[in-house]
A = this chain, B = another copy of it.
Amino acid sequence: MSLRVGIVGGGQLARMMIAPAVELGLDVRVLAEEPGMAAGLAATATGDYRDLETVRAFARDVDVITFDHEHVPQDVLRALVADGIAVHPGPDALFYAQDKLRMRAKLAELGMPQPEWAAISDAAELQAFLDANGGRAVVKTPRGGYDGKGVRVVSTAADAADWIEALEPGGQLLVEELVDFTRELAQQVARRPSGSWRAYPVVETVQRGGVCAEVIAPAPRAGQRLTDVAESIGVAIAEGLGVTGMLAVELFETADDRLLVNELAMRPHNSGHWSQDGAVTGQFEQHLRAVLDLPLGDTEPRAPWSVMINILGGPAADSLESRIPGALAAHPGAKVHTYGKAPRPGRKVGHVNLTGSDLDAVVSDARGVAAHFDD
């Protein structure tokens, strides 16, 4: 009988696990939030991932539960584990992905390099942090943010007055130093429940409007020291937080050559989409192998350079599909991935991967392909 993988959440990350699951011969099942989602092809159940009985019924007949996102509540996760179900990543790891304050405290405990940060609960504490850190800072809601949501740059306590006012009694916000970074990088590590791991090469990510726009793999101008430090941070976090499956560590590189941990994701991540076509083992295949505790695959690049460019929904009403012929014609090596999602403005609806040996040409060609999806 095939190994059965249950994925909670029906978004594009679940969707992109379908292809490697089918090829490996896994029985892949998805608990989707609603009908017609990106991973709908493999949906065997529809329901609310916050409802224990919904998740429990879905989890009953699978060999492992994994996730499209990190939002399944702790009590649901812990009930599954108590039922004897393999859950990867598990609740102890996801605890840190679900709350940025806990994550910062744990990374401090592990001695990981990170921006200056504090937990604040009122305007005075925020102002004190601003005064101590050059007058500007980033305030984050500890929970629920993604793609730039729940993140705000402030220069006075008043800029965060609405969030402070909305705090529950005892509630806190995270405030972080506004890092003067030269660029953003991301380090991915896959780790099995039995402990072995494999690291991907560190990549450069380019964000626009808080959303990942482009990724170059490996990161250009990354010497051995940078590569080693990034990998050691990724592995230390994967091991220190007990992450199983794919971990992505978003990093700031500073002008004085430090790497500081920005965010974590305990799942396949946008910064790793290049690996589908650019690495011997794509991150979605690797995640499945990791959560099933199967031997991990080679993470070496298949080509000197890989470039990933996100396709965002635009204001135009015409469908994504009408753009595909032009995009495919633009470069015969382009790999166009689309997610079956309605192209609402700013929404990630697909991406383009391209590999090659001349970085400037790959970047330029990949942008030329992706431009077919612009308005």
Instruction: Give every chain B residue within 8 A of A3 (Cβ-Cβ).
Output: 321, 324
Given contacts A297-B328, A328-B295, is CB(A16)–CB(B24) below 8 Å?
no
**Complex alpha-carbon distance, A289 and B3, angstroms:** 31
Q: Collect the chain B residues with CB atoms within 8 Å of residue A42's CB.
A: 41
Does A294 have its Cβ within 8 Å of any Cβ on chain B? yes
Q: B25 contacts A320, CB within 8 Å?
A: yes
Proximity string of chain A (323-367) to chain B, C-beta cutoff 8 Å, 1 when within and 0 when not: 011001100111111111000000000100000000000000000
Write the nearest CB–CB distance from A310 to chain B, whole angstroms: 14
Q: Which of B16, B281, B289 contacts A23 (CB 8 A)?
A: B16
Q: Which residues of A1-60 are within 8 A (CB) of B?
A: 1-3, 15-16, 18-20, 22-25, 27-28, 41-42
- Do A295 and B41 touch (CB < 8 A)? no
Q: In the docked arrangement, what's the CA distance between A240 and B268, Å?
A: 46
Q: Which residues of B contact A15 (CB under 8 A)?
A: 22
Among A298, A332, A333, residue most surrounded by chain B Cβ atoms (within 10 Å): A332
Tell me the nearest residue of chain B to A276, going by C-beta. B23
- Is A236 an interface position by the 8 A CB rule? no
Check B328–A294 contact: CB distance below 8 A.
yes
Q: Give A28 to B23 CA distance when docked, in angstroms.
A: 16
* A280 interface hit (Cβ, 8 Å): yes
Which of B325, B332, B337 is within 8 Å of A297, CB to CB? B332
Which residue, A19, A320, A324, has most C-beta atoms of chain B within 10 A? A324
> For the complex formed by this chain, how many copies does it contain in all?
2
**Chain B residues near A324 (CB-CB < 8 A):** 3, 24-25, 294
Asked if A241 lies at the interface with its beta carbon under 8 angstroms from chain B, I say: no
A319 within 8 A of partner (CB): yes
Q: Which of B16, B25, B319 meets A350, CB within 8 Å?
A: B25
- Asked whether A303 is an interface residue with its Cβ less than 8 Å from the other chain, the reply is yes
Docked Cα-Cα span, A172 to B41, in Å, equals 46
In the complex, are the beta carbons of B25 and A18 less than 8 A apart? Answer: no
Residue of B nearest to A20 (CB): B19
Answer yes or no: A154 CB below 8 A from chain B CBs: no
- Point out the residues of chain B lying under 8 angstroms from A329, CB to CB: 295
B328 touches A289 (CB 8 A): yes
Chain A window 182-221, contacts with chain B (Cβ cutoff 8 Å), 1 for yes, 0 for no: 0000000000000000100000000000000000000000
Contact of A296 with B by CB under 8 A: yes
A143 at the interface (CB under 8 A from B): no
Q: How far is the CA of A320 from the CA of B2 in the complex (A)?
A: 8
| A302: interface (CB < 8 Å) | yes
Annotate A108-151 by CB proximity to B: 1 below 8 A, 0 otherwise: 00000000000000000000000000000000000000000000
Additional A-B contact list (9), CB under 8 Å, known A22-B41, A25-B336: A16-B23, A18-B18, A18-B19, A19-B19, A19-B22, A23-B337, A25-B338, A297-B328, A302-B302
Residues of A within 8 A of B (CB): 1-3, 15-16, 18-20, 22-25, 27-28, 41-42, 198, 276, 280-281, 289, 294-298, 300, 302-303, 319-321, 324-325, 328-329, 332-340, 350
The contact sample of 16 A-B pairs, CB cut-off 8 A, is A1-B319, A16-B23, A22-B41, A23-B276, A23-B335, A25-B321, A25-B336, A25-B338, A25-B339, A27-B340, A198-B332, A280-B332, A294-B324, A295-B329, A297-B333, A297-B334
